[in-house]
Amino acid sequence: MSPNSSVDYQSFRQEVRTFLAENLTEELREAGRFTAGLISPYEYGIKWQRILHAQGWAAPTWPKEYGGPGWDAPQRYIFAHECGLANAPSWSNMGVILCGPVIMAFGRDDQKKFYLPRMLTGEDFWAQGYSEPGAGSDLASLSMKAESDGDDYLLNGSKIWTTHARYANRMFCLVRTSNAGKKQEGITFLLLDMDTLGIRVEPLITIAGEQDFNQVFFDDVRVSKRNRIGEENGGWQVAKYLLEFERNNGSSVAGRIRATLENLKGVVKLEGVEADQFFQKALSEVEIELSSLEAMEEQQMVALVKGESPGASGSILSYKSTQLSQRITEIGIEAVGYYVSPEQKAARTPSSNIPAIGPDHALPIMPRYLGQRASSIAGGSDEIQKNIIAKSVLGL
Ligand SMILES: Cc1cc2nc3c(=O)[nH]c(=O)nc-3n(C[C@H](O)[C@H](O)[C@H](O)COP(=O)(O)OP(=O)(O)OC[C@H]3O[C@@H](n4cnc5c(N)ncnc54)[C@H](O)[C@@H]3O)c2cc1C
């Protein structure tokens, strides 16, 4: 597997490990380890982004031309895998990961010049405005209205489940500009400033007690047509490109799952139940499933390197990884027992000096269990992934 003979992947892996050992502070490792939901809290994520930016690694998928490291797929995979193993913050910067590549592919030169560098530095932080109260899995049903008014659009409606929207100063979103024809044909891709008059952000508290989510309300919000990406009513094509990019960017979840499995093994040991047959069986099953997930990730990467379409493998990986992540949190609950019950947000804040009720290792168990419920919904629910597998792989 050597698509680029000038890269020594062993040395590259070592370089990443050395960088992580030198730059991932204890606070950031704790933030990664204690992350309850799918994404680490903004304050730690953005710190990590700035450290990565200083190294030139803030945007693993970007080409050099735009300030990325210019890595190939195996390098991106190695980087993501090692970050996961090291418990780096689970950081999903939607500007860098999703909106940047869209601007590179569809944006005007002035848009590229203005937005892209600010994404890298963290000066601009972006929210993704796709889902609406009536449009999630069936995204094309979105109804947030953008009416043409001279050189502007007037936006009315709301977006929901908008991750980290209260920290974002910008949003990329899909809006409805026409109701004629098929529903996919009346959608437009827009960039907007979050401090525009008429935008209101309301937090939604998750079952794990985190404030990751928000609902964003738009009341006669005026956005210049110059902020459009691509053609009016051509937003579905842009959104599809973005989704393809999200699924096929050579990333890795197996490293992070392996780190959580290692944490779980530590918990099982500390609880003195490692010889118990239930835990031996449960951990062995996870180990086997995880090894097969790692092999599948590598296969997918080889396909990417060969320029082949990974097809439905993204859906299989997504489904398998959510199942595994959730299973690991369930075994944690079984191991720790009743000390998982107290809600202890203050004690599990990185660098906190608030003593824990019960053992320290019990602190992240329940928030993780609750937070991982989201993994089978985010980025396409398990049922949607199964639909894709049924159609594309099983031919049903
Ligand atoms: C952690 C997390 C972060 C998110 N961040 C963002 C964000 O930043 N920006 C954003 O725009 N959105 C975000 N979302 C929203 C996410 O994209 C939606 O939750 C997702 O697309 C599902 O949509 P929904 O919640 O409306 O559920 P629905 O689509 O209403 O689905 C409800 C249930 O019905 C099932 N279902 C629906 N259609 C089918 C079907 N055809 N066949 C079988 N079963 C079906 C689903 O699987 C689910 O169980 C986030 C979600 C999560 C969990």
- The domain spans of the chain are 9-91, 125-233, 253-392
Q: Indicate yes or no: pTM above 0.85.
A: yes
Per-residue pLDDT, 81: 87
**Closest to 328 (Cα-Cα) out of 287, 359, 291:** 287
Ligand 1 geometric centre to CA of 1 (Å): 36
* CA–CA gap between residue 396 and residue 207 (Å, rounded): 36
Report the nearest atom of ligand 1 relative to the CA of 376.
Answer: 53
For 125-233, CATH gives 2.40.110.10
Per-residue pLDDT, 315: 87
Report the nearest atom of ligand 1 relative to the CA of 380.
Answer: 21
Q: Report, as an integer, the average pLDDT of 68-93.
A: 89
What tokens appear for 336 in the block?
């720790």
Tell whether ligand 1 has an atom less than 6 A from the beta carbon of residue 141: no
Tokens 């609406």 — which residue?
Answer: 132
Ligand 1 geometric centre to CA of 336 (Å): 31
Q: Which residues pair with 217 in a beta bridge?
A: 158, 200
* CA–CA gap between residue 94 and residue 190 (Å, rounded): 15
Per-residue pLDDT, 2: 47
Taking the CA atoms of 17, 22, 23 and 27 in sequence, report the sign of the dihedral they define.
Answer: positive
Pocket-testing residue among 131, 143, 159, ligand 1, by greatest number of atoms within 8 A of Cβ:
131
For the chain, percent of residues with pLDDT exceeding 70: 96
Tell whether ligand 1 has an atom less than 6 A from the beta carbon of residue 206: no
Neighbour-count burial for 286-318, b at 16+ CB within 10 Å, e otherwise = beebbeebbebbbebbebbbeeeebebbbbbbb
Q: Report, as an integer, the average pLDDT of 330-353.
A: 85
Q: Find the angle CA(34)-CA(38)-CA(42) to the nearest 5 degrees.
A: 70
Per-residue pLDDT, 138: 94
Per-residue pLDDT, 95: 93
Per-residue pLDDT, 248: 59
- Identify whether the C-beta of residue 325 lies closer than 8 Å to the C-beta of residue 345: no
Q: Find the angle CA(129)-CA(122)-CA(378) to the nearest 5 degrees.
A: 35
Per-residue pLDDT, 341: 85
How do residues 82-94 score in pLDDT, each as one tens digit? 998 898 998 888 9
Per-residue pLDDT, 1: 44
Tell whether ligand 1 has an atom less than 6 A from the beta carbon of residue 214: no
pLDDT of 335 above 90:
yes
What tokens appear for 188 in the block?
């437009």
* CA–CA gap between residue 354 and residue 351 (Å, rounded): 9
Instruction: Work out the pLDDT band at 287, boundaries 50, 70, 90.
Output: very high
* CA–CA gap between residue 126 and residue 115 (Å, rounded): 11
- Identify whether the C-beta of residue 386 lies closer than 8 Å to the C-beta of residue 139: no
Q: Report, as an integer, the average pLDDT of 248-267.
A: 83
Q: What's the number of CA atoms in the CB half-sphere (13 Å) around residue 340?
A: 19
Report the nearest atom of ligand 1 relative to the CA of 383.
Answer: 47
For residue 229, give every residue at least 6 positions away whose Cβ sits within 8 Å of its Cβ, in sequence order, or none. Answer: 102, 103, 106, 107, 111, 172, 189, 190, 191, 235, 238
For 253-392, CATH gives 1.20.140.10
Per-residue pLDDT, 245: 66
Instruction: Work out the pLDDT band at 226, boundaries 50, 70, 90.
Output: very high
Instruction: Give the three-state DSSP class for 341.
Output: coil
For residue 169, give every residue at least 6 positions away whose Cβ sits within 8 Å of its Cβ, in sequence order, or none. Answer: 124, 125, 193, 194, 195
Q: How would DSSP label each residue in 365-394? A: HHHHHHHGGGGGTTTS-HHHHHHHHHHHTS
Ligand 1 geometric centre to CA of 315 (Å): 15
How do residues 19-53 score in pLDDT, each as one tens digit? 999 999 999 998 888 887 788 889 999 999 999 99
| Structure-derived torsion over alpha carbons of residues 47, 52, 56, 57, reported in degrees to the nearest 10 | -130
Per-residue pLDDT, 5: 61
What tokens appear for 367 in the block?
């928030």
How do residues 140-185 score in pLDDT, each as one tens digit? 999 999 999 999 999 999 999 999 999 999 999 999 999 999 999 9
* CA–CA gap between residue 314 and residue 296 (Å, rounded): 10
For the chain, percent of residues with pLDDT exceeding 90: 66
Give the least confident one: 144-158, 328-342, 356-370: 356-370
What value does the mean pLDDT of the chain take?
Answer: 91
Q: Find the angle CA(236)-CA(242)-CA(248) to the nearest 5 degrees.
A: 135
Tell whether ligand 1 has an atom less than 6 A from the beta carbon of residue 319: no
pLDDT of 4 above 70:
no
pLDDT of 7 above 90:
no
Ligand 1 geometric centre to CA of 137 (Å): 5
pLDDT of 340 above 70:
yes
